[in-house]
Structure 1
Amino acid sequence: MTYQEKKSIVSVITVILIFISYWLYMYPQHPVGGLESAETFRYWGFFVIQLTLVSIVVHIIIGIIFNIVFRMTTREKEPTFADELDKLISLKASRNSFFVFILGFLLAMGSLVIIEPSQMMFMILIISGFLSDVTGSVTKIYHYRRGV
């Protein structure tokens, strides 16, 4: 298994663990007031911003830990360059990831059109962000195993 495959697998596991643990931590704090109250908007705004910051920090920490463990176990350094195959796979993964997020964004806006509660929009946006991150990593794993 190559370095890129291992890194993508660790990324998928990290994203799933971050999302589930953060959701389980924050969702019980959901305000009990009306669905369209200012407190509800404040809660979801805080939820998105904090999830983004937590995700970035944890990804950096896990990336550093992964590189240290990889170097200790294989006695190899991580690749310092990306060839054409790596760049092509990265572009395909980004394309698929953006497609999933844009689809989720359109669904979120559509939920507002059909007069669903605004918190439905936030949930769809958060879930589409999660799914787009997973899709990008799974696409990388798929193309490194099967080829382009």
Structure 2
Amino acid sequence: MTYQEKKSIVSLISTILIFGSYYLYMYPQFPEGTQESTETFHFWGSFVLMLMLVSIIAHIIISIIFNIIFRITTKEKEPKFADELDKLIELKANRISFFVFIIGFLFAMVSLVIDQPSQAMFMILIASGFLSDLTGSITKLYHYRKGV
């Protein structure tokens, strides 16, 4: 298994663990009461901002740990360059990932148009961000294994 395949698997697993653990941490903090209160908007705003911050920091830490473990176990350095195949796979994964997020964004806007509660919009946006991240990692793994 190549470095890129292992990195994609680690990214996939870490995305699931980060999102799942953050969701389990934040779920009990959901405010009771009216759905359109200021407290609810504060909750969802802080949920999204903190998820972004926690996710970025956790991915950086996991990437560093992965590179250390990879170097110790294989006695090789991680590749410092990306060839044409790596760039092409990255572009394909980003394109599909962005497409998934845009579809989720459109669904979130439709939920507002059809008079769904505003928290439905936030849930759809958060889910589409999570799914787009998963889709990007799965796409990279698929293309590194099967080719472009």
Please state which band the TM-score falls in when normalised by the shorter chain: over 0.9
Q: Is the 8 A contact 1:101 1:129 kept in 2?
A: yes
Give matches, 1:83-98, under 5 Å.
83-98=83-98
What's the CA shift for 1:66?
A: 0.1
| Match in the other structure for 2:143 | 143
What's the CA shift for 1:6?
A: 0.2
Number of residues of Structure 1 aligned to a counterpart in Structure 2: 148
Counterpart Cα distance in 2 of 1:82 and 1:23: 34
| Match in the other structure for 2:67 | 67
What's the CA shift for 1:39?
A: 0.4
CA RMSD of aligned residues (A): 0.4
Give matches, 1:1-148, under 5 Å.
1-148=1-148
Counterpart Cα distance in 1 of 2:130 and 2:121: 14
Listed one character per residue, the Cα deviations across residues 30-70 of structure 1 (whole Å, up to 9, x for unaligned) are 00020000100000000000000000000000000000000
**TM-score normalized by the length of structure 2:** 0.99
Listed one character per residue, the Cα deviations across residues 92-129 of structure 1 (whole Å, up to 9, x for unaligned) are 00000000000000000000011000000000000000
What's the CA shift for 1:83?
A: 0.4
Q: Which amino acid aligns with 2:68?
A: I
Q: Which amino acid aligns with 2:44?
A: W
Counterpart Cα distance in 2 of 1:80 and 1:20: 31
Runs of 4+ deviating beyond 3 Å: none
Counterpart Cα distance in 2 of 1:127 and 1:53: 16
Counterpart Cα distance in 2 of 1:41 and 1:81: 43
Unaligned runs of 5+ in 2: none
Counterpart Cα distance in 2 of 1:113 and 1:54: 31
Unaligned runs of 5+ in 1: none
Q: Is the 8 A contact 1:31 1:39 kept in 2?
A: yes
Residue 78 of structure 1 aligns to a residue whose secondary structure is coil
**TM-score normalized by the length of structure 1:** 0.99
What's the CA shift for 1:87?
A: 0.2
Q: Which amino acid aligns with 1:41?
A: F
